[in-house]
Structure 1
Amino acid sequence: MPIKKLGSAFALLLFFAGLAGAVPAGFNIQGRLTDMNGINRDGTYQMTFSIFDAATGGIALWEQNFSLSVQNGNFQVILQGPDKNNKPLEDTVKNLEAAYVEIMVSGEAPMVPRQPLLRSPFASSDKIPAGTILNYASITPPEGWLLCNGQSIFKDDYPELFAVIGCTFGCPIAEPNKFNLPDLRGEFVRGFDAGRGVDNYRVFGSTQADIFKSHTHPDNTFQEIANTWRGGGGVSPGNGTGRSALIANTGIIGGVETRPRNVALTYIIKR
């Protein structure tokens, strides 16, 4: 829903969209910046976005400065992650009854009124249970997540995650206070059979080597040969021909593994 916000020298038309399901959660804000006469602005503007727990008054709980490019009045910004004081937005907002955003442009007075933000993106991220595994489009995990790289981590540091996966992926014998994360680097994930009968006798969390399903390649290749007979004087040609099967193969083709088309992404696990 568009929201018009007024300041002393600028006006903003804002569109709010929560990044539902994003990791970590955040808000995508698209806006149009004009002067007080409704003329679209162009250029680079310094904007400060502050989060409060009340519509008026109070102290900013999260605040970040952005240098935003404005073209024909249009701009976009994502409020996400730590602010200028290293306070994570998700942790700041997730337990609030309400949250409001306040915007300042180029050092002008804050625009009014503050606009309430939806809590749903933060709530949905907060409800993601420990042990959830996702694909992620970066080699660096976001806050609250770990790489599925098989590393050993301390049980006391990640009690919620250990309560879910335990020693499913191993626990170091020499370090009983640690447990292993799943190592999904370079792996495809297969749904656990759980008695269905498609992938029998699997243990949950176990690995499986590559293999071809048993099959044959028939090759009906024959060679024409002359009939012969053997007598006391040696071998002499006969008066007919016959056929004899040859042993053949289809040749060698392919690479070092069997795989479908794929895209390389990072697996991460909620801690």
Structure 2
Amino acid sequence: MPFDSNGNYSLPNGYLAVTGQTILATQHNPPLEDLASALSQVLLRSGVAPLSGNLSAAGFKITNAAAGVADGDYVTMAQLTEVIASIVNSAPTGAVQGFLRTTAPVGWVKGNGGTIGSAASGATTRANADTEDLFALFWEQFSNTVLPIQNSAGSASTRGASAAADFAANRRLPIFDLRTRYIRGSDDGLNFDATATVGSVQADAIKNHVHPGETNTDGDHVHTFRRGIGGSGFGAEPGTDGVTSGTTTGNAAHKHEFTTDNNTGGSALETRPRSVVTLFCIKL
């Protein structure tokens, strides 16, 4: 082939014309044929011919490419960055997700009950400008009673005129503590448990209940007796009715109902189903 591994082209040896020499067909034609073969391997700028093999960039990059518009098109870095951002931001601000990892992914913060705020806020969970959307959402959705705002030193404070004003003032806002908690749907008008509102925290509990049951039955039975004489305990004498011995009246088989007390014991920390533990995080 006329091209070397670096793409340099060279004519075959012995075919250069010399001044005054007669040009022969055997000398003239092979170089032209070689040129034709070489040019057939060239990547044309017009793009009329496709590649016939892989194209190595040898560490260089393609620049000034147009953005892809159809399947199979080359995509630019800007397009790739946009796709990645759309994946990262596919969950809305405030979404809660469990992750099988020990650190929060990019764009999320641990739901650990700490605080968020600006880079100068000293917030304990995340102090960064990227927390502003979550800061604003929680500030607007929940009262200062639920999420009491703090100054940059961590002391309780009163809320300013707006979420934006408090964020700019480097205040900290608490986030919900989701550690060791189950996520529950709000009542939202169902009227099953009106206290189950968004953001409310419920302690563990067991519903009040009783355990009905009954004792074993005791069969019908009687007891024999004898009337003793004086205090000697021996012999027998008739009573006023003339009876010296007999049996008690039998009581028919019967049972006794009972109710157990509420169970307040137990050695476990909680009553729970089988579970797997994840790290709950909140979307920024």
Q: Which has the higher helix share?
A: 2
Higher radius of gyration, 1 or 2:
2
Greater relative contact order (Cα < 8 A, sep 6+): 2
The two structures have a TM-score, normalised by structure 1, of: 0.49
Q: Which has the higher strand share?
A: 1
The two structures have a TM-score, normalised by structure 2, of: 0.47
